[in-house]
């Protein structure tokens, strides 16, 4: 369903359209928000507020870009408002709000990085179950190959092979992105703990 169809069905109050928007964008918007407010729970709250507000104003809202871009911008604005409130409440870090407000290129970079990470999660979810579990234990939970082998009652060599297979698939599927996102790819694979 394209943006136009989704928005039309949403304006009619069709719950299926709301659910589809939620499923399409919730997770990546939470990742994006967390890069601004550095608090996963708060990021979830912000995204939920944005999506609920979007639904409540579905009959009057005007979108001049894509639905995705509109939601990203809405989350960004709400993150800035949150940071501004925090600045007042805490009475320190006085430059946080202005720095975030003026970082237009950073906003674009964060959005692209979030999209890239979302692609990675999508590819990981297509791996065979054992391969996926081993890869997540290694990269997201930070476990050693030996610990994984012991926990799953398999050989260390099997663990190494499964991780290698997962990395090959990621490199293959993301080949077009690695030129511009190579550093992000490296950081994501070796340091990501957001959903661990």
Question: What does the pLDDT look like over 155-171, one tens digit per residue?
Answer: 999 999 999 898 888 88
Q: Please indicate, yes or no, whether residues 92 and 114 belong to a single structural domain of this protein.
A: no
By percentage, how much of the chain surpasses pLDDT 90?
A: 26
Residue 37, domain extent: 1-102
Q: Please indicate, yes or no, whether residues 112 and 194 belong to a single structural domain of this protein.
A: yes
Separation CA 16–CA 9 (nearest Å)? 8
More confident residue, 185 or 13: 13
Q: Looking at 48, 77, 102, which one is the last position of a domain?
A: 102
Least confident range from 7-16, 127-136, 164-173, 182-191: namely 182-191
CATH of the domain at 169: 1.10.10.10
Q: Please indicate, yes or no, whether residues 139 and 94 belong to a single structural domain of this protein.
A: no
DSSP character at residue 64: S
Q: Looking at 81, 102, 123, which one is the last position of a domain?
A: 102
In the structure, what pLDDT confidence band is assigned to residue 47 with cuts at 50, 70 and 90? very high
pLDDT score at 182: 46
DSSP character at residue 193: -
* Domain total of the chain: 2
Q: Looking at 102, 123, 151, which one is the last position of a domain?
A: 102
DSSP string, 13-24: T-HHHHHHHHHH
Q: Please indicate, yes or no, whether residues 94 and 51 belong to a single structural domain of this protein.
A: yes
CATH of the domain at 92: 1.10.1740.10
Separation CA 9–CA 17 (nearest Å)? 6
Q: Please indicate, yes or no, whether residues 91 and 136 belong to a single structural domain of this protein.
A: no
Q: Please indicate, yes or no, whether residues 3 and 98 belong to a single structural domain of this protein.
A: yes
CB 97 within 8 A of CB 83: yes
Q: Please indicate, yes or no, whether residues 87 and 111 belong to a single structural domain of this protein.
A: no
């Amino acid at each position: 369903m394209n943006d136009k169809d989704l928005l039309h069905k949403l304006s009619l109050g069709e719950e299926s359209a709301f659910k589809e928007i939620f499923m399409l964008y919730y997770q990546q918007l939470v990742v994006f928000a967390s890069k601004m407010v550095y608090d996963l729970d708060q990021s979830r709250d912000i995204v939920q507020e944005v999506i609920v507000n979007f639904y409540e104003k579905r009959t009057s809202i005007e979108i001049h870009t894509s639905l995705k871009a509109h939601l990203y911008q809405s989350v960004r604005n709400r993150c800035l408002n949150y940071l501004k409130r925090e600045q007042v409440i805490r009475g320190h870090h006085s430059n946080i709000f202005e720095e975030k407000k003026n970082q237009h290129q950073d906003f674009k970079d964060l959005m692209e990085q979030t999209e890239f990470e979302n692609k990675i999660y999508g590819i990981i979810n297509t791996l065979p179950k054992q391969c996926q579990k081993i890869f997540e234990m290694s990269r997201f939970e930070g476990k050693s190959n030996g610990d994984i082998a012991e926990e799953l009652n398999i050989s260390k060599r099997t663990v190494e092979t499964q991780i290698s297979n997962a990395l090959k698939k990621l490199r293959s599927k993301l080949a077009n992105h690695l030129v511009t996102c190579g550093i992000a790819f490296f950081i994501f694979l070796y340091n990501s703990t957001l959903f661990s």
